[in-house]
Structure formats: C-alpha cells, structure tokens
Amino acid sequence: MTVSRYLRAPALVAPETARRIVSALRQTGYTPNKQAGMLASGKSSIVAAIIPNIASSIFAETVQGLSDALQSHGLELLLASTNYSLEREEEQIRAVLGWSPAGLVVTGRDHSLAALALMKQAKQAGTPVLEIWDLDPSDAEFAQIGFSHAAVGAMMAEHLLRCGHRELVYVDSGVREDFRAHERGQAFVAAARAGGARANVHQAQSVEPMEAGRLAFKALQDKGLPKGIAFANDHLAAGAFLQATAQGLRLPRDVAILGFGDFPISRQLGGGLCTVSVERYDIGSKCAQLLIDMQAALKAGRFIQSAHAAVQPELVHRSTT
C-alpha cells in the first residue's frame, strides 16, 4: 500500500521509507500493472485513434502530432486503421471502447449508424469523442478539429477562375469512402460553375497516387485537356506535373495544375506546385490539447459542450497556376 502511495505521490511517504521503496523497486524491477490500476481507479491513460490509413502522407503527420502531444501528457496511443471502410471503422470503435479510453478520436464526420451510436454512448459515458480532419460548425454532436472541405474546394475553384481558366476539372482520389475528397470536389465544381466555367470531376484510378496522377492526366488529354486541373492531393498533382513536363508542356501556359496538402514534394518540383497547405501535424496536436481540456472540464464537473478547433488551409502560390 505504501509503495502504491509512493508511486503516485512520493511526498506523502517518509524519506526513510521512500529510500527503502526505491531500492526494493530497483532490485525487483517492479512494473506496476496498469490494467489493475485502471480497473481500481477508473482512470484511463489510453487514447484511441482511428484513421483511414497510417501509411498515407495525409494522416501520418497528424498521428505524429497526436502521439507527441499525448506523450508529453503521459497518455498513450492505441491506433487502428480502417482502410477507408466505414464498416471496419465501426468494428474498431467497438474494439477500442472496451478499453474505456480517456478519449476517442475518429476521422471525419461520416460514420455508420452503429458507429454513431457507439460514439454517442461513449460521449454520454463521459469519454471525450473527437472528429479530426473535418469541421462543420452546424454539427455540434462531437468535438471537431479540422477545416471545411467545401470551403477548400471553393477556394481551389476560385483561384483557377481568378487565373482566367474557364474549363476546369477536379481529379478525385478514386477512393470510394474518402468523403472529404469528394466534398472538396463537389464544392469545386459548384463554385467553378457559379463562376461561369465548365467543370466536372474525374475519378483517378485507385493505384499508387503519383502514378494515378500521371494516368489521370493522360486520360484527360484523350478527352481534350482542360485549362485548369485541381487534384485531391499533391501526389496526384505531382504525377500529373511530371507527365506534363515530360511531354514538354509548359505550365501554367498549356495547363494549370493545383494540388492539395502542400506535401514536401510540391516545393521541389520545377518552380513549385501550386497547392493548398494544411497544418497536418497541428490537427494532431490540437486534437490532443482539446481532448485534455475536455477531460479537465469534465473532471471539474462542467458540462462539455461541443468544442471546435479550426486549422486554416491556405492557398500556396507557386509556378503551376
């Protein structure tokens, strides 16, 4: 009992006793059993995060930001991926909830009905539930950290319109359940048409993204190259850029290319790929911060209203538009 006390609050133990405890701890190589601690105290140090894909550049940095911030608060990260399947998302949510985590982080606002029910139940039980990578202030059920994809789609279209282009295409990632990419595309087309341009969506093939960008570019050429092309992400755009320049095309004279994400490669190709920057790492660290704030609020007995944190996507002007 005294050892347990020492471990949580060394000051409450007599110096001499503390000394003996420390030496015993070292000799035995004792490691406290966290499940027992959690069971007894009802407090969890696990935060569960569920994302579509760990390997993708998009989410990896967000997870890094989340992980770093959690670590500095003594929290641990239980990570699961869904491969962009709502069904797998539901399973993962169900699985991680069994750990009664200190927080549940999911990606985006689209979930299966059952998943939604689980999330609400967790929230009711006092577990902070946060959605990352999207933001819709009208949706107040869960905390959100992200930005409006519709606004970004519109921003992309408006930029190309401002550059004088009137024939536009949005190249989508070709992943059926990447709802955020679709949303950018829909808003892109709507804003482009509102601005008097012809616009539509082209679905990329679901292969390695740069290669998909190349292929999409060729496919568009066959249909008659538009004046401006926006892409669901910078890897697609980079592939298209490489294909275009390999053919001797001049950008933006022959065709304007606009990416999304401001991945490192966009700074390196030619005079730079024009793109929209998003603070991916910040989404993760802000998520952790918000989670901790919500926990504190809850402990203080205050009712958590839905909290939102925004990151601000910005157009990065470079040479391709």
Chain residues binding a copy of itself by CB under 8 A are: 29, 31-36, 38-39, 46, 53-57, 60-61, 63-64, 67-68, 71, 76-81, 83, 92, 94-100, 117-118, 121, 208-211, 214, 235, 238-239, 242, 264-265, 267-269, 281
Instruction: For the chain, list the strands marked E by DSSP.
Output: 46-51, 76-81, 103-107, 129-132, 143-146, 167-172, 198-203, 228-231, 256-258, 275-277, 308-310, 314-316
User: In the set 27, 36, 196, 250, which binds DNA (CB under 7 A)?
Assistant: 36
Rounded CA-CA distance 283/277 in Å is 13
User: In the set 27, 40, 300, 303, which binds DNA (CB under 7 A)?
Assistant: 40
Instruction: For the CB of residue 200, give the shortest distance to a copy of itself in the complex, in Å.
Output: 26
- Binding partner selected for residue 69 from a copy of itself, DNA, none, CB under the kind-specific 5 to 8 Å limit: none
Rounded CA-CA distance 269/238 in Å is 8
For the chain, count helices (H), then strands (E).
12, 12
- Binding partner selected for residue 41 from a copy of itself, DNA, none, CB under the kind-specific 5 to 8 Å limit: DNA
- If one asks whether residue 125 binds DNA (CB under 7 A), the answer comes out as no
Radius of gyration of the chain (CA): 24
Name beta bridge partners: 208: none
- If one asks whether residue 25 binds DNA (CB under 7 A), the answer comes out as no
- If one asks whether residue 222 binds DNA (CB under 7 A), the answer comes out as no
| Sign of the CA dihedral with 292 first, then 134, 176, and 226 last | negative
* Count of residues near DNA by CB under 7 A: 20
Look up tokens 């989670």; give the residue: 291
Among 58, 112, 67, 66, residue whose Cα is nearest residue 89 = 112
- If one asks whether residue 2 binds DNA (CB under 7 A), the answer comes out as yes
- Binding partner selected for residue 14 from a copy of itself, DNA, none, CB under the kind-specific 5 to 8 Å limit: DNA
Rounded CA-CA distance 99/101 in Å is 5
- If one asks whether residue 23 binds DNA (CB under 7 A), the answer comes out as no
Q: What does DSSP say about strands 275-277 and 314-316: parallel, antiparallel, or unpaired?
A: antiparallel
Q: Which of residues 199-218 bind DNA (CB under 7 A)?
A: none
State the Cα angle at 296 between 294 and 298, rounded to 5°.
70
User: In the set 24, 32, 72, 94, which binds DNA (CB under 7 A)?
Assistant: 32
Q: How many CB atoms lie within 10 A of CB 24?
A: 11
- If one asks whether residue 298 binds DNA (CB under 7 A), the answer comes out as no
- If one asks whether residue 41 binds DNA (CB under 7 A), the answer comes out as yes
Segment contacting DNA (CB under 7 A): 12-20, 188-196, 198-206, 252-260?
A: 12-20
- If one asks whether residue 14 binds DNA (CB under 7 A), the answer comes out as yes
Instruction: For the CB of residue 161, give the shortest distance to a copy of itself in the complex, in Å.
Output: 30
- Binding partner selected for residue 196 from a copy of itself, DNA, none, CB under the kind-specific 5 to 8 Å limit: none
- If one asks whether residue 121 binds DNA (CB under 7 A), the answer comes out as no
3-state secondary structure of 170: strand
- If one asks whether residue 1 binds DNA (CB under 7 A), the answer comes out as yes
Q: Which of residues 42-61 bind DNA (CB under 7 A)?
A: 42-43
Rounded CA-CA distance 95/91 in Å is 6
Please state, in angstroms and as integers, the Cα–Cα distance from residue 281 to each residue in 129, 266, 289, following that order: 19, 17, 13
- Which tokens is 40 given? 């007894």
User: In the set 5, 123, 166, 218, which binds DNA (CB under 7 A)?
Assistant: 5
Could you list the residues that contact DNA (CB under 7 A)? 1-2, 4-5, 7-8, 12-14, 16-17, 32-33, 36-37, 39-43
